[in-house]
Structure 1
Amino acid sequence: MHVFVTGASGWIGSATVDDLLAAGHSVTGLARSDASAAALETKGVAVLRGDLDDLDAIRRGATGAEGVLHLANKHDWANAAATNASERAAVETIGEALVGTDRPFVVASGVAGLAQGRPANEGDANPFVGPDSMRGGSENRAFDFVDQGVRSIAARFSPTTHGTGDHGFIALIVAAARAAGVSGYIGEGTNRWAAVHVSDAARMVRLGLEQAPAGARLHAVAETGIPTRAIAEAIGDALGLPVTSIDPADAVDHFGFIGQFFGMEMSATSDETRKLLDWEPTGPGLLEDIAAGAYTAAHVA
């Protein structure tokens, strides 16, 4: 299959491209910079220059592919409205390009906010609808195209897709610990985060592209829920720092914007995904990764 991938040089996208190539697929990757283009070309990936605001380029990439993985996001936390608008426009552009083709269209999403008082599961509908909602309501917008002959699939990622080289949420929490001289958790630290190793997430995305039916909700979750206090303790052990509770009122001051999320319950299961795709995570767990130095090696910011 020839696959068009947005976010092809990103953290999850890069691992997914490697998995696609290893499985015999060919890839065209969207690249906004010379460095990204060079990294993709080195792997044997065809490069389409553009970014998430270049809808003409995105349309060309989708039209010329047999399947699409939309993994890019601006992640501009200072301008959520612009990020959401860009995400929605990209999803609409890809969906419109694939109408009537029955081709797979995998859209990156997340498990946050799907359930209250229990781990989220694949049966939970995404509550974010409309352009002003989280991610511009992109998961539900993609599913709008199912009735128009598009095999839309949601790939819901854990709040941490971890591994050596990750620059996401856990890396930011580690950076906050270094800056403050203490490894913090919020409140009692009993809220839990789901987790998955990046290699397992990449394989799940590829299997979903190949096998999942239209309207499927896939959970890239290996560990249902790790208490955030345990995460802070693992970071403290790895950095040789004391561990302490941070008052919720001080969370953003201590952690930066990630303090808005570190106190949230974001646990989830993946039982249905495992059955559907015959997918079984094999990578290291989050605490194991932290202990092994994935976030404390010299090259990690």
Structure 2
Amino acid sequence: MKVFVTGASGYIGQAVVKELLDNGHSVLGMARSEEGIRLLQALGAEVHQATLEETDKVLEGVRQSDGVIHLAFNHDFSRFAQNCADDCALVSAMCEALEGTQKPLLITSGILIVDLPAGALAKEDSPCKTVAQSPRAASEDAVRKAAQKGVRAAIVRLSQVHDVHRQGLISYAIALGKEKGELAWVGSGESQIAAVHLSDAARLYRLALERAEAGAVYHGVGESGVKAADIVRAAGKRLGLPVRSIAAQEAGAYFGWLNMMASSDMPASSERTQQQLNWTPRGPGLLHDLDNLA
């Protein structure tokens, strides 16, 4: 099928584009910059030039394709709530454009959207936070409403996507540690973070698009939980930085907006996803990639 991919020139997007092309699909990749256009053309994708703010242009790409993977998101965390509202509006517009077509749409969310007590295992059917608790929940809500109208829209919740170059939000924590001259975990360091290798995440998107069911939730999880202290120690060893534990009371001042991730304890399962999609994660683990940071 011809697949429209937003965020196609990004870190995850490039891997998804390659996965789709390697498995017989064609790609219409959205890009906003000349660099992104050149990158997608080099991969062998057709390019659709548009920005997230140009809804009409984005919808042109949706209508030209047989399926849609929505990866793009504005990661300016200083205006996170507004970015989430904008994403919800775009997702809603995509869903409306796909009504009556049976074309699949995958949107991207995150494991941290799940509303469970600390340490509980997040599953595909676990309760989701409200929009008041997490603004990004609005996009998931939009998909659920569209699915009730027969739109073949589904949700991919990602854990921390990694290779030797990037490790999701952990990369921001590492950059912060470099600035501060030390890396830290909160409390005992026993809290857990779920992770998935980039190659496995890309394969998940491809399989989910091919088999998507309306309203389905898929979890991009390769490792259900990696301990925070182990993550910090691995990165510290590789970078030659000291590591330490900080008290929960200090975490907000140290981590800033990253405290949500740093202080969370949310292992996650992808058992149902693996069964439904015949998807088996097989990439290197998070600690392996941290040991070999590029």
* TM-score normalized with structure 2 length: 0.94
**Superposition deviation, residue 194 in structure 1:** 0.2
Given that 1:251 and 1:260 are in contact with CA atoms closer than 8 Å, whether structure 2 keeps it comes out as no
State the match for 2:212 in structure 1. 212
Which one is further off, 105-114 or 251-260? 251-260
Counterpart of 1:261 in 2: which secondary structure?
A: helix
Name stretches of at least 5 consecutive residues in structure 1 with no aligned partner.
none
Counterpart of 2:199 in 1: which secondary structure?
A: helix
Aligned residue pairs total 292
Given that 2:15 and 2:199 are in contact with CA atoms closer than 8 Å, whether structure 1 keeps it comes out as yes
Given that 2:84 and 2:136 are in contact with CA atoms closer than 8 Å, whether structure 1 keeps it comes out as yes
How large is the Cα RMSD of the aligned pairs? 1.7
**Superposition deviation, residue 37 in structure 1:** 1.1
Give CA deviations for 1:71-109 in whole Å, capped at 9, x if unaligned: 111022101222012101110111011000111110101
State the match for 2:9 in structure 1. 9
State the match for 1:186 in structure 2. 186
Of all paired residues, the percent bearing the same amino acid is 40
Matched, 1:288 2:288: yes
Matched, 1:278 2:278: yes
Amino acid at match of 1:236: G
Amino acid at match of 1:28: L
State the match for 1:196 in structure 2. 196
Matched, 1:100 2:96: no
Amino acid at match of 1:126: C
| In 2: Cα distance, 1:98 partner to 1:207 partner | 20
Taking the TM superposition and a 5 Å limit, the aligned residue runs for 1:119-268 are 119-129=121-131, 133-135=134-136, 137-158=138-159, 160-166=160-166, 168-268=168-268
Given that 2:190 and 2:229 are in contact with CA atoms closer than 8 Å, whether structure 1 keeps it comes out as yes
Counterpart of 1:214 in 2: which secondary structure?
A: coil
When residues 236 and 15 of structure 1 are mapped into structure 2, their CA distance, relative to the original with a 3 A threshold, is: same
State the match for 2:59 in structure 1. 59
| In 1: Cα distance, 2:109 partner to 2:123 partner | 13
**Superposition deviation, residue 180 in structure 1:** 2.2
**Superposition deviation, residue 150 in structure 1:** 1.4
State the match for 1:48 in structure 2. 48
| In 2: Cα distance, 1:91 partner to 1:72 partner | 11
Name stretches of at least 5 consecutive residues in structure 2 with no aligned partner.
none
**Segments of 4+ moved more than 3 angstroms:** none
| In 2: Cα distance, 1:234 partner to 1:243 partner | 10
| In 2: Cα distance, 1:260 partner to 1:18 partner | 32
Amino acid at match of 2:228: T
| In 2: Cα distance, 1:40 partner to 1:148 partner | 34
State the match for 1:35 in structure 2. 35
Which one is further off, 253-262 or 77-86? 253-262
**Superposition deviation, residue 134 in structure 1:** 2.1
| In 2: Cα distance, 1:245 partner to 1:133 partner | 27
| In 2: Cα distance, 1:53 partner to 1:292 partner | 37
**Superposition deviation, residue 129 in structure 1:** 4.4
**Superposition deviation, residue 36 in structure 1:** 0.8
